[in-house]
Structure 1
Amino acid sequence: MEWLVTLIGAALVLIILRDLFHTLWHPTRHGGLSRFVMTLLWRLSTRGRRPQRAVGLTGPVGMVIVVSTWACAVAVGWALVYWPHMPEAFAFSGSLKPSEHSGPVDALYLSLVIVATLGLGDIAPSSDWLRIVAPLEALVGFALLTATVSWILGLYPALARRRALALRISQLRRADAVGGNLASDAGAALLDQLAAEIARACVDFLQYPESYYFHDGTGGISLALNLEYAADLAEQARLTEHLGARNAGALLATSLDDLAAVLDDRYLHTHGTRQQILAAYARDHGNR
C-alpha cells in the first residue's frame, strides 16, 4: 500500500511535467490543463452581456490558475511520494518528535520546502533513494519557475505584435491611405508588409495558443475587428492591373487563409470559408 501511494504521487508529478512540456516547450501543441482552464474561463466571461473588464481578465487570471495548479499538483505529488515512508526514512531535528510529525501535512510541508528550494533542514531524507529523489523535486521546482517566467516573457510580446498589427490596419482604414493607390509599387510594398505581419501573427497563435484568450478590446487594437479590412485590400489588389500589386494581394490573401485555418482548427471549429471564420473570430472577440 505504501508503494502504491508513492506511485500515485510519482504519476501525478509526471502528468504535470507532461502538461508543462506541451504548454511551454512544444509550440505545435496545446497543454490539456491550459486549454481546459482558458476555454472554460473564456466561455464563462463571454456568456451573456458581461462587463468588458471581466473578459479582459480571462487571459491573465487563466495563466495564474494554470501556474498555481502546476505548482500545487507538483507539491502534492511529491508529498504522496514522501508520506508513506515517514518517519523511518527521514531524519528529524532534535526539536521534533518523529512520531508527531509524520502525517500528510508534514509530508506536504516537506514537499513545499524542497520545491521552493528553501532547505530548512528540520526534516530531511535519510534513505538512499529519497536522498536522490528530493533534489530532483528541487530541480523541478526551479524548472517550473524559469518556465513560467519564459512563458510570460514570450506571451506578452506576441500580444503586443498582434495589437500593433491591428492598429496598423485600423490606421490604414481610418486614414484611407490606400484608396486607389494599390496599383503601384508603393501599394504592393504596403501589402507585402501587411502579409508578413499577418504571417507573424499566425505563428504567434501557433507558438502561444493561450494568447487567443487575451481580449484586445473593441477599438483599433482588436485584430478580430480589423481583419475584414485587410481581406478587402487583398481582394482589391487582386483586381488591379499592376502585376506587383496583384502578387502582393494574392500573398496577403494566402496569409489570411493561413491565419483563418489556424483560428478555426484550434479555437472556432466552424469548418467554414475564410470569410465565415473571420466573422466568427470577430463575434467571439468583438461583440462585447
Structure 2
Amino acid sequence: MAWFYTVLGAVLIAAGLVDVFQTLLHPGGRGKLSRLVTRAVWAAGRIAGGPVRSIVGPLAIGAVVTMWVVLEVLGWALICLPYVPDGFSYSPGLEPTAYPDAAEALYISLVTISTLGFGDVVATDGGLRLLLPLESLTGFALLTAAVSWFLQIYPALARRHVLAIRLAMLERTEYARILDSADDTSSSRMLEILARDFIQLRVDLMQNPETYYFHEPAAEILLPAPLVHAYELGRRARQSRRHDLRLAGELLTAALDDLAFFLRSEFGGPGESPVEIFRSLGVSRGED
C-alpha cells in the first residue's frame, strides 16, 4: 500500500500546484479547480442572498486558497503515512502509538507546510529528509501566491470602479444628448477613452475571471444599465455626420461587442445581441 499512498499523494500535490500555476501565472487564468470552487461559492451566495452575496468574491478567493492548502497538506500527509511512526524520531515524552497513523501524518504535514518547525517530530528516513523541505517551500509558495493574487485583483477592481463612475457621470449629465453638438474633438476623445477602458475591463476579466464575482453596488460596472448606456453612446456616435465621432463610435461599439461575447462565453447566459447579453448577465447576477 505504500506505493499507492505515495502515488495518490503526488497526484494531489501536482493537482494543487498545477491549478496555482494556471490560475495565477497563466495569462488566461485557466485554473479548472479554482473555477469550480469559485462558481460553487457564487451559486451558494446567490441562494443565500443578502449580505452574503455582497462578499461572495472575497469568500470565493478564500475558498480557493483553502482548497490549494488542503490538497497540498493531504498530498504530503499521504506521502508521510507509510513511514509513520518508524521513519520519524519523536521528542522524549511523546508516544507515537498513542495517535492514529493518519492523524500523525496529517499533523506532520501541517507543521511542515506552515514552516512552524516545532521539532517534536523529525524525519529519520533518508527519502523523507530530502522531500519534507520541499513541502516547506510549497507552503511558502502558497503564501506568496495568495498575497500576489490579492495584489492582482484589487487594482483590476479599482479600474472597474473608475469606469463605472465615469459612465454614471456621463449618464447624469445626459452626455448622449449633447454628443454631436460640440464642434471640437472632445466627444470623440471621450468615446475613445471609454473604448480603451472597456478593452482593459475585458483583459482584466480574462486574466482574473474571479473579479466577475465581486458584487459592489456602489460602483458596479457589470450592471446592465451602465453597459447598455455605453452601447447607446456608441450607437448615437455612429450616426453622427462627423467622421471622427463616427470612427470613435465604431471603436466603442466594437469594444462592447467583444466584451459582451466574452462575458457570454466565459460566464454563460442567453442573448444574441450585446444589449441582450448585458441584460441577461445582470439578471443572472441578481442585479437587474
Alignment of 1:18-167 (within 5 A): 18-47=18-47, 50-51=49-50, 53-100=51-98, 103-167=101-165
SS in 2 for 1:34: helix
1:275 maps to 275
Tell me how many residue pairs correspond in the alignment: 285
Structure 1 residue 285: Cα displacement: 3.2
Structure 1 residue 135: Cα displacement: 0.6
Q: More deviation in 91-100 or 230-239?
A: 91-100
Residue by residue over 1:222-245, the C-alpha shift from the partner in whole angstroms, topping out at 9 and shown as x without a partner, is: 432311110000010111011111
1:187 maps to 187
2: CA distance, partners of 1:65 / 1:164 = 28
Q: More deviation in 121-130 or 92-101?
A: 92-101
2:2 maps to 2
TM-score by length of 1: 0.92
2: CA distance, partners of 1:154 / 1:267 = 20
2: CA distance, partners of 1:32 / 1:86 = 33
Q: 1:171 to 1:221 in 2, by over 3 A?
A: farther
SS in 1 for 2:285: helix
Structure 1 residue 271: Cα displacement: 6.1
TM-score by length of 2: 0.92
2: CA distance, partners of 1:206 / 1:99 = 51
Q: Structure 2 counterpart of 1:223, which letter?
A: L
Verify: 1:212 aligned to 2:212, yes or no. yes
Runs of at least 5 residues in structure 2 that lack an aligned partner in the other structure: none
Runs of at least 5 residues in structure 1 that lack an aligned partner in the other structure: none
Q: More deviation in 265-274 or 232-241?
A: 265-274
Q: Which runs of 4+ in 1 moved over 4 A?
A: none
Structure 1 residue 178: Cα displacement: 4.7
Structure 1 residue 43: Cα displacement: 2.5
Structure 1 residue 46: Cα displacement: 2.6
1:263 maps to 263
Structure 1 residue 274: Cα displacement: 1.5
Q: 2:167 aligns with which of 166, 169, 177?
A: 169
Structure 1 residue 220: Cα displacement: 5.1
2: CA distance, partners of 1:101 / 1:268 = 49
Q: 1:7 to 1:276 in 2, by over 3 A?
A: same
Please tell me whether the aligned partners of residues 178 and 187 of structure 1 are also in contact (alpha carbons under 8 angstroms). no
SS in 1 for 2:71: helix
Q: Structure 2 counterpart of 1:127, which letter?
A: D
Residue by residue over 1:99-140, the C-alpha shift from the partner in whole angstroms, topping out at 9 and shown as x without a partner, is: 445611111111111101111111111222111110110111
Structure 1 residue 144: Cα displacement: 0.4
2: CA distance, partners of 1:220 / 1:143 = 33
Q: 1:199 to 1:236 in 2, by over 3 A?
A: same
